[in-house]
Amino acid sequence: MTTLTDPPKESFRLSMLIYDTRYRSMTIQVVAMIGFMLLAAWLINNTMTNLATLGKPVNLGFLTDRAGYDINQRLVDYSNNDSHLRAAFVGLLNTLLVAFLGCITATIIGVLVGVLRLSKNWLVAKIMTVYVEMFRNVPVLLWIVLAMAILIESLPAPRAFRGAEPEATMKLFDTVAITNRGVYVPEPLFSNSLGNIHLFGSSSLRFDLSVDLLVLAIVFGLSLFGIAKVNARAHRIQDATGDRPKTIWINLGLFFVPSVITLIALGFHLGYPELKGFNFTGGTHMRNSLIALWLALSLYTAAFIAEIVRGGILAISHGQTEAASALGLRPGKTMRLVILPQALRVIIPPLISNYLNLTKNSSLAIAVGYMDITGTLGGITMNQTGRELESVLMLMGCYLLISLSISSVMNWYNNRVKLVER
């Protein structure tokens, strides 16, 4: 009788790292990684040595030196006596502000234009086509400069608002002043303010967080959480019985009532801009540089988003539209409830790239005098201190961190809305 036994296990030999297919790919990757790390170490060491020879060793001590320059548009307190690190922090917040406003505005305009390009109305479709081709085929820098020139040349000066019969008047019941120096809008104020929370102490990154706004954000978040719970309950009832309870009034109450009560308790009121002397005081001042950059980046990026949306809609089978029409849905609801949710899986990946491009294109703000992170850290600070390498590396790191954050959020959203195959 023959007895079958397992063959003896082969002992490991160093030659197997090259000749055995089980280990060869891992060996190649390890060797490539070691080679890359050695090359990077050589480049870094060579750079450090050359800088030391020139008398400019890598040193971040310049960040604590006095900046000595002003920043006209800012979200936090700043003076020219603050450090270069504080100036860079203010510039970073300005960059984040433009990126946030631009992404929201470009998305709204891009979706509308993309949908209207597919309109059966010939005139509307052609107008949207002209918009898309005009904006995406002209460099964004030219649109930024053009927007700035239009705002400066076409809008009235503050002195035009003076006199018994002024040449210009304020808008929206005398609450908004649109001038060639910027737009002055009402400022939210609280008579029963809860004060501020001082973050990061007295460092260059100090930030005063308003407790009033924090409370409002928490209340608003709880309202959204309550609305989500109400809608989830309505979905469960609909799945169980086929009838969906009406939730519109409950959702409206949850959305508005808590926020209104909180605003009343905090003594919310508006501080309006007033013309005093040669300029307006009070309110919130949005300078022309911010508005021009915001509008130009939004309109430019919206042209690309419109094409992405149009392509995503066309990727959906026409049978989906026909099925929705057979169920009695109107074209507007068909687009909102049937087509766009399915098109998101095609739209979102290239949409992420456009958000990143908008954020990086905000570095062109220096053309209109808007002090973002490029204008502060990569501009005046670098020129004053002569620390080119340190400033550029820190600037690259800031943009890299912002881009990775946007990609992470959008990828998370993409995973939430993608279709689940069964």
- pLDDT tens column, 17-35: 777 777 788 888 899 999 9
pTM of the complete model: 0.85
Residue 420 confidence (pLDDT) above 80: no
In this predicted structure, what is the pLDDT of residue 153?
A: 92
Amino acid residing at 225: F
Q: For residue 245, what are the contacts with CB-CB under 8 A and spacing of at least 6?
A: 234, 237
Question: How confident is the model over 228-251, as a mean pLDDT?
Answer: 88
Do residues 270 and 186 make contact, with C-beta atoms less than 8 angstroms apart?
Answer: yes
In this predicted structure, what is the pLDDT of residue 61?
A: 86
In this predicted structure, what is the pLDDT of residue 317?
A: 85
In this predicted structure, what is the pLDDT of residue 421?
A: 55
Q: Give, rounded to a whole angstrom, the gap between the first and last alpha carbons of the chain.
A: 52
Residue 7: count of CB within 10 angstroms of its CB: 5
Q: Which domains, from first to last, does the chain contain? A: 63-186+272-417 (1.10.3720.10)
CA distances to 114, 244, 290, 300, 304 from 139, rounded to whole Å, are: 21, 51, 18, 9, 13
Residue 3 confidence (pLDDT) above 60: no
Q: How far, in Å, CA of 395 to CA of 377, rounded? A: 7
Q: How far, in Å, CA of 192 to CA of 214, rounded? A: 14
- pLDDT tens column, 60-113: 888 889 998 999 888 888 888 889 999 999 999 999 999 999 999 999 999 999
- pLDDT tens column, 135-185: 999 999 999 999 999 999 999 998 888 888 888 888 888 889 999 989 999
Do residues 110 and 117 make contact, with C-beta atoms less than 8 angstroms apart?
Answer: no
Do residues 369 and 94 make contact, with C-beta atoms less than 8 angstroms apart?
Answer: no
∠ at Cα 380 (379, 383), nearest 5°?
A: 85
Structure tokens at 367: 């053309």
In this predicted structure, what is the pLDDT of residue 419?
A: 61
Phi, psi of 200 (to 5 degrees): 65, 20
Do residues 197 and 274 make contact, with C-beta atoms less than 8 angstroms apart?
Answer: no
Do residues 245 and 237 make contact, with C-beta atoms less than 8 angstroms apart?
Answer: yes
Question: How confident is the model over 126-142, as a mean pLDDT?
Answer: 94
Of 76-90, 250-264, 325-339, 376-390, where does mean pLDDT reach its minimum? 325-339
In this predicted structure, what is the pLDDT of residue 377?
A: 92
Which value, to the nearest 10 degrees, does the dihedral of the CA atoms of residues 263, 266, 272, 276 take? -170
Secondary structure in 3-state letters for the chain: CCCCCCCCCCCCCCCHHHHCHHHHHHHHHHHHHHHHHHHHHHHHHHHHHHHHHCCCCCCCHHHHCECCCCCCCCCCCCCCCCEHHHHHHHHHHHHHHHHHHHHHHHHHHHHHHHHHCCCCCHHHHHHHHHHHHHHHCCCHHHHHHHHHHHHHHHCCCHHHHCCCCCCCCCECCCCEEEECCEEEECEEEECCCCCEEEECCCCCCCEEEEHHHHHHHHHHHHHHHHHHHHHHHHHHHHHHHCCCCCCHHHHHHHHHHHHHHHHHHCCEEEECCEEECCEEECCEEECHHHHHHHHHHHHHHHHHHHHHHHHHHHCCCHHHHHHHHHCCCCHHHHHHHHHHHHHHHHHHHHHHHHHHHHHHHHHHHHHHCCCCHHHHHHHHHHHHHCCHHHHHHHHHHHHHHHHHHHHHHHHHHHHHHCCCCC
- pLDDT tens column, 305-364: 999 999 988 888 888 888 888 888 888 788 888 888 888 888 888 999 999 999 999 999
Among 300, 371, 325, which residue's Cα sits nearest to residue 135? Answer: 300
Residue 291 confidence (pLDDT) above 70: yes
∠ at Cα 381 (360, 291), nearest 5°?
A: 45
